[in-house]
């Protein structure tokens, strides 16, 4: 393990354009459950997975009804109350790599906004953020508190409309079956194509199209792909990643950063 940490630090320190891909695993040490780990939301409650798949169809059929349902139920998602959750050393390690000028982008599947809270600036939230809203027509994003949703409901004005194009506003979180917003999808693909190092943290890499990103990078070639994960994943098994550092992101990523700093001195 020690050797792999040094190797990852060396690879990062010598990269020209490093990009990180993250998944639910980087947030489990903040107390948010993942979906497919042993204590995962789907692992313990398969019915919840089936229900989640219905939500986007409901939105398309009846956006007003969808919003009313959302606002009438307690604002606790499947993952628990996300407002209070704090970033952990794994998130902060990625901030440090960005400040060192090594990490050019973090592309996350997480909707918990913990990378943003930790201070990552160049961030693509592939599945959106629970803290934002998005216009389904033009992709304009707003903070949730920029629209008084309760007032709109009381005045019978739901669904909220975009101030720029008049399109329907939805929560930014990408629902199951919903296409990835075109701006984020396009830029993520470009970054995967451009990078010469990919640092993949805490994702089982089975949710598509996100799981295509490492494969796109691999196909292009001239790239080092490092996984930091508690378990082996399809990327490990298929040889998409060059090596896996097996363990917790909250412990391994800070050690890699320490080593990078030592090398840069
Ligand atoms: P996943 O649940 O499918 O996989 C998580 C992976 O991380 C597993 O391989 C697990 O072994 C590993 N892991 C768990 N804790 C770890 C730790 N401390 N250190 C290193 N590895 C650890 O997650 P996914 O691949 O991100 O796919 C789940 C989908 O559900 C995503 O698309 C995401 O949008 C959503 N989701 C988001 C959150 C969140 O925002 N925090 C949480 C759960 C699910
Ligand atoms: Zn709009």
Maximum mean pLDDT: which of 68-72, 215-219, 261-265: 215-219
Q: What is the pLDDT of residue 117?
A: 97
Query: What pLDDT, in 10s, does the model give residues 176-213?
Result: 889 999 999 999 999 999 999 999 999 999 999 999 99
Query: How far is residue 248 CA from its own chain's centroid?
Result: 17
Pairing of β 224-229 and β 243-246: parallel
pLDDT for 146 beyond 80 = yes
Residue 1 burial by CB count (10 A; 0-12/13-18/19+): exposed, middle or buried?
exposed
What are the structural domain ranges in the chain? 1-32+85-127+180-265, 35-78+132-171
**Confidence bin at 76 (pLDDT 50/70/90):** low
27 lines ligand 1 (CB under 6 A): yes
Calculate how far, in angstroms, residue 28's C-alpha sits from the geometric centre of ligand 1: 8
Ligand 1 pocket, 229 CB below 6 A? yes
**Residue from 26, 28, 35 to probe ligand 1 pocket by mutation (most atoms less than 8 Å from CB):** 35
Angle subtended by helix axes 182-194 and 212-220, to nearest 10 = 40
C-alpha to C-alpha distance for 28 and 159, rounded to whole angstroms: 33
Cβ atoms of residues 106 and 122 within 8 Å: yes
Q: Summarize pLDDT for 33-46 with one digit per residue, the tens.
A: 888 778 888 888 87
Segment 119-146 mean pLDDT: 96
- Catalytic site positions: 127
Is CATH 3.30.70.2740 the right assignment for the domain spanning 1-32+85-127+180-265? no
How many Å apart are CA 87 and CA 206, to the nearest integer?
Answer: 24
pLDDT of residue 77: 60
Neighbours of ion ligand 2 (CB under 5 A): 135, 137-138, 140, 162, 164-165, 167
Distance, in Å, from the CA atom of 91 to the CA atom of 192, rounded to the nearest integer, reads 20
pLDDT at 265: 79
Residue with CA nearest ligand 1 atom 19: 248
Q: Give the ligand with the smallest distance to the CA of 244.
A: 1
* CA-nearest residue, atom 18 of ligand 1: 248
The alpha-carbon radius of gyration of the chain (Å, integer) is: 19
Distances (CA, A) of 65 to 68, 71, 138, 188: 5, 10, 22, 32
Domain 35-78+132-171 part of CATH 3.30.1600? yes
């Amino acid at each position: 393990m020690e050797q792999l940490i040094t190797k990852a630090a060396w690879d990062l320190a010598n990269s020209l354009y490093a990009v990180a891909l993250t998944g639910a695993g980087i947030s489990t040490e903040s107390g948010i459950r993942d979906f497919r780990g042993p204590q995962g939301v789907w692992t313990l409650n398969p019915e919840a997975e089936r229900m989640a798949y219905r939500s986007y169809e409901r939105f398309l059929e009846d956006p007003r009804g969808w919003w009313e349902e959302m606002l009438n139920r307690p604002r606790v998602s499947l993952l628990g109350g996300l407002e209070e959750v704090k970033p952990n050393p794994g998130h902060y390690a990625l901030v440090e790599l960005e400040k060192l000028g090594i990490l050019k982008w973090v592309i996350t599947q997480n909707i918990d906004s913990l990378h943003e809270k930790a201070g990552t600036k160049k961030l693509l939230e592939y599945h959106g953020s629970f803290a934002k809203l998005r216009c389904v027509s033009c992709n304009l994003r707003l903070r949730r508190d920029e629209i008084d949703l309760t007032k709109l409901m009381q005045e019978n004005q739901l669904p909220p409309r975009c101030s720029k194009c008049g399109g329907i506003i939805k929560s930014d979180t990408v629902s199951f079956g919903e296409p990835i917003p075109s701006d984020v999808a396009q830029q993520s693909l470009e970054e995967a194509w451009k990078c010469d190092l990919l640092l993949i943290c805490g994702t089982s890499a089975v949710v598509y199209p996100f799981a295509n990103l490492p494969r796109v990078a691999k196909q292009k070639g001239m790239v080092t792909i490092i996984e930091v994960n508690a378990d082996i994943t399809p990327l490990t098994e298929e040889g998409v990643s060059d090596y896996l550092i097996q363990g917790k992101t909250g412990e391994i990523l800070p050690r890699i950063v320490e080593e990078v700093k030592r090398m840069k001195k």
